[in-house]
Structures are given as structure tokens and as C-alpha cells.
């Protein structure tokens, strides 16, 4: 089976980069879920929203999903077409990570490649934020806080 190379890049999923509560960096936790590294607020990208909804409402149609999640019909159809939800269809065989080619059963990248991608976005977001704040974060960061954040990852 030939899978079309769609260019639904991750940015089109409306990734929450900054926290809407405190403008902290949203750190990727997995399957479309993000958590603010400053205040702990959770947020979801389009994929995460749709996936959450489908977990509770199996068999929901595109219109229902869209109403409930605010994600456009087109994005939902694209995600379904790409078999990004194992809850919808896991019988089409395995997917492969688009970056390293290992077998995966949902999404587009294996967990490692996905995490790597998100870490890059987060690093860029940090840079952007620091430069837009001019003087950097008030109070300064306590040295080892950064490394603790990463080990908390499941
Ligand atoms: Zn926050
Ligand atoms: Zn991979």
C-alpha cells in the first residue's frame, strides 16, 4: 500500500507553544498533550483534542468531533485518512515512523523522533521568549531545574 506523502506538518496542528495562563513554554508530554513548565497547565494540539474526544466517543463522526473540539473538518479528515488514530482503525497494518522507519501504531513519528522534534520547538520557543523579554526571566533560573524537567518525562 502506498501512503501519500501529505504535508500535514506538525505546526498545522496548532501546537500550543506558550501557556495561555502564564506564557511559559508548553512542554510536549506525548500524544498531543502539553504541559506548561512553569505553572503546570495542560493544553492539547488538534491531534490531542481529537484523540481525547475519540477515546470517550468511539465511532463519532467528523461533524461531531469538529463541534466538540473546534478542530476543522478538513484537519480531522486528514488525520483520519492518515490513520493517525488507532481507535478508529488499526487493521490497516503498521505505520512507519516518517523519520527513522520503525513500526509505530499511531501518529506519524515514533516516540523518540517525536520527542526530539518537540524538544527542538521548545528550545526555539525558549530562545524566542528570552529575546522578546529582553532581560530574560526575572529571578533567574536555578541551575539544575532544567535537567529535572526532562527526567520527569514518562
Ligand atoms: Zn503556565
Ligand atoms: Zn522515529
Mean pLDDT of 6-15: 64
Asked whether the beta carbons of 16 and 45 are under 8 A apart, the reply is yes
| Strand, coil or helix: 96 | strand
What is the whole-number distance in angstroms between the Cα of residue 128 and the centre of ligand 1? 16
Torsion of CA 47, 49, 50, 53, to 10 degrees: 150
Q: How confident is the model at residue 49 (pLDDT cuts 50, 70, 90)?
A: very high
Q: How confident is the model at residue 148 (pLDDT cuts 50, 70, 90)?
A: very low
Report d(CA 126, CA 136) in Å as an integer.
10
Residues with CB under 5 A from ligand 2 (ion): 97, 99-100, 110, 113
Which ligand sits closest to the CA of 17? 1
Report d(CA 82, CA 122) in Å as an integer.
26
User: To the nearest 5 percent, what fractions of the chain are helix, strand and coil?
Assistant: 40, 10, 50
| Strand, coil or helix: 86 | coil
- Of the candidates 107, 114, 110, 84, the one whose C-alpha atom is nearest the C-alpha of residue 97 is 110
| Strand, coil or helix: 99 | coil
> For the chain, how big is the Rg over CA atoms in Å?
17
Which ligand sits closest to the CA of 100? 2
Indicate the average pLDDT of the chain. Answer: 78
What is the whole-number distance in angstroms between the Cα of residue 103 and the centre of ligand 2? 8
In this predicted model, what pLDDT tens digit does every residue of 112-125 receive, in sequence order?
Answer: 998 999 999 999 99
Q: How confident is the model at residue 110 (pLDDT cuts 50, 70, 90)?
A: confident
Amino acid at each position: 500500500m502506498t501512503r501519500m506523502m501529505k504535508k500535514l506538518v506538525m505546526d498545522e496542528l496548532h501546537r500550543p507553544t506558550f501557556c495561555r495562563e502564564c506564557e511559559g513554554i508548553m512542554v510536549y508530554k506525548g500524544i498531543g498533550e502539553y504541559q506548561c513548565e512553569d505553572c503546570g497547565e495542560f493544553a492539547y494540539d488538534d491531534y490531542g483534542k481529537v484523540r481525547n474526544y475519540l477515546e470517550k466517543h468511539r465511532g463519532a463522526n467528523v461533524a461531531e468531533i469538529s463541534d466538540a473540539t473546534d478542530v476543522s473538518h478538513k484537519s480531522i479528515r486528514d488525520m483520519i485518512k492518515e490513520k493517525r488514530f488507532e481507535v478508529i482503525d488499526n487493521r490497516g497494518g503498521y505505520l512507519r515512523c516518517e523519520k527513522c522507519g520503525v513500526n509505530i501504531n499511531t501518529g506519524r513519528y515514533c516516540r523518540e523522533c517525536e520527542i526530539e522534534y518537540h524538544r527542538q520547538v521548545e528550545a526555539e520557543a525558549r530562545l524566542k521568549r528570552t529575546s522578546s523579554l529582553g532581560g530574560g526571566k526575572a529571578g533567574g533560573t536555578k541551575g539544575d531545574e532544567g535537567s529535572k524537567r526532562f527526567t520527569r518525562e514518562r
